[in-house]
Amino acid sequence: MKKFECIHHGDDQLGEGPVWNDQDQSLYWLDCVGKKISATALDNSPVRTWSLPDMPGSYAFREHGGLVMAFRRGLAFVDLNESGVATEWIPNTGVDPKTVRFNDGACDRRGRFWAGTFHNKITEPLGGLYRLDGDRSVHNMDTGIMMSNGMAWSPDNRTMYYTDTRPGYVYAYDFDLDDGTVRNRRIFLDYSKEPYSADGCTVDAAGCLWVAEVDAGRIARYTPAGKRDAVYELPVSRPSSVAFAGANLDVLCVTTLRFGLSEEEKAREPLAGALFALSPGVSGLPEPRFRG
């Protein structure tokens, strides 16, 4: 693939959360508005889809099967079965869904699940960064977030990247893998004066950060020094998230949005909401699983 190709075009409204599952060699992704999760083997075989009990934000696979998932109103363990979906809600998250809701998330390489929250009306910086441990305890790791989005870790586990789409920053933290702590938050990428924003992200094996730049219609690659060194254009304006997939993790998959587009924009972008893939010539890193 020399450019992005559409590999699935269903009825997704808010495509999000692409994650490669190495066990069944499939890419999974969400339609948050449609309350569903789908999977494809990237080989033109039929797409599998499961309905979810609530609006999802993110998820990770568990070591012993199933998923840990951040729904808008809380965290839960989810099993995807032929007969449907089984859900076990995690109590005592310390998050009030009447005020804030969970969104994007991912596992660090010690198997802890991190997820961010944001204010329901996105008018106040009441969101935070949370860590779910294997013993089901939930820890608030940072505050003052307006619109929590993508997160990723450097290959050496010393840096955590975390997107606050509004006001328009990708932060970098010093990350302690042993303790699972973050400190020294600083701005890594500044989109605050741009007409587009950062959304989901991932890190490749060389340590570069790939960012879905929503409303710019592109995926950009940034070096650890914050220098943009590659840009890949999409045939739609609203990419939402990115993940490396395939047996060799050398296929870059991108989810996109129809949600928020006007009828005229939808007419101009018939592939909005589709799933795209590209072979960029670099590989990603294995996706950690939740240890709990």
What's the per-residue H, E or C state across the chain? CCCCEEEECCCCCEEEEEEEECCCCEEEEEECCCCEEEEECCCCCCCEEEECCCCEEEEEEECCCCEEEEECCEEEEEEEECCEEEEEECCCCCCCCCCEEEEEEEECCCCCEEEEEEECCCCCCCEEEEEECCCCCEEEEEEEECEEEEEEECCCCCEEEEEECCCCEEEEEEEECCCCEEEEEEEEEECCCCCCEEEEEEEECCCCEEEEEECCCEEEEECCCCCEEEEEECCCCCEEEEEEECCCCCEEEEEEECCCCCHHHHHHCCCCCCEEEECCCCCECCCCCECC
Number of domains in the chain: 1
Q: What is the mean pLDDT of the chain?
A: 97
17 in a structural domain: yes
Q: What is the pLDDT of residue 2?
A: 61
Average pLDDT over residues 112-138: 97
What tens digit of pLDDT does each residue of 10-69 get? 989 999 999 999 999 999 999 999 999 999 999 989 999 999 999 999 999 999 999 999
* Domain annotation covers residue 150: yes
The model's pLDDT over 212-239, given as tens digits with 9 standing for 90+, comes to: 999 999 999 999 999 999 999 999 999 9
- Give the pLDDT of residue 200: 98
Mean pLDDT of all residues in 246-274 = 97
pLDDT at 11: 85
Q: Is 199 a catalytic residue?
A: yes
Residue type, 109: R
What's the CA gap between 230 and 26, in Å, rounded? 27
pLDDT the model gives residue 125: 97
Domain annotation covers residue 242 = yes
Q: Say if 209 falls within a structural domain.
A: yes
CATH number at residue 12: 2.120.10.30
Residue 291 lies in a domain: no
| pLDDT score of 3 | 87
Q: Look at residue 265 and tell me if it is in a domain.
A: yes
Q: State the CB neighbour count (10 A cutoff) for residue 212.
A: 29
Residue 198 one-letter amino acid: A
Which one is catalytic: 79, 199, 204, 215?
Answer: 199
Q: What is the pLDDT of residues 65-108, one digit of tens each?
A: 999 999 999 999 999 998 889 999 999 999 999 999 999 999 99
Distance (Å, rounded) from C-alpha 285 to C-alpha 3? 21
Contact 258, 266 (CB under 8 A): yes
Nearest C-alpha neighbor of 278 from the set 215, 228, 217, 234: 234
- Percent of the chain scored above 70 by pLDDT? 99
pLDDT at 1 over 60: no
Domain that holds residue 83: 5-278
Whether 180 is in a domain gets the answer: yes
Mean pLDDT of 170-177: 98
Average pLDDT of the segment spanning 160-181: 98
C-alpha span between 236 and 258 (Å, rounded): 9
Percent of the chain past pLDDT 90, that is, above it, reads 97
In a domain, 91, yes or no: yes
Separation of alpha carbons 268 and 257, rounded Å: 14
pTM of full prediction above 0.85: yes
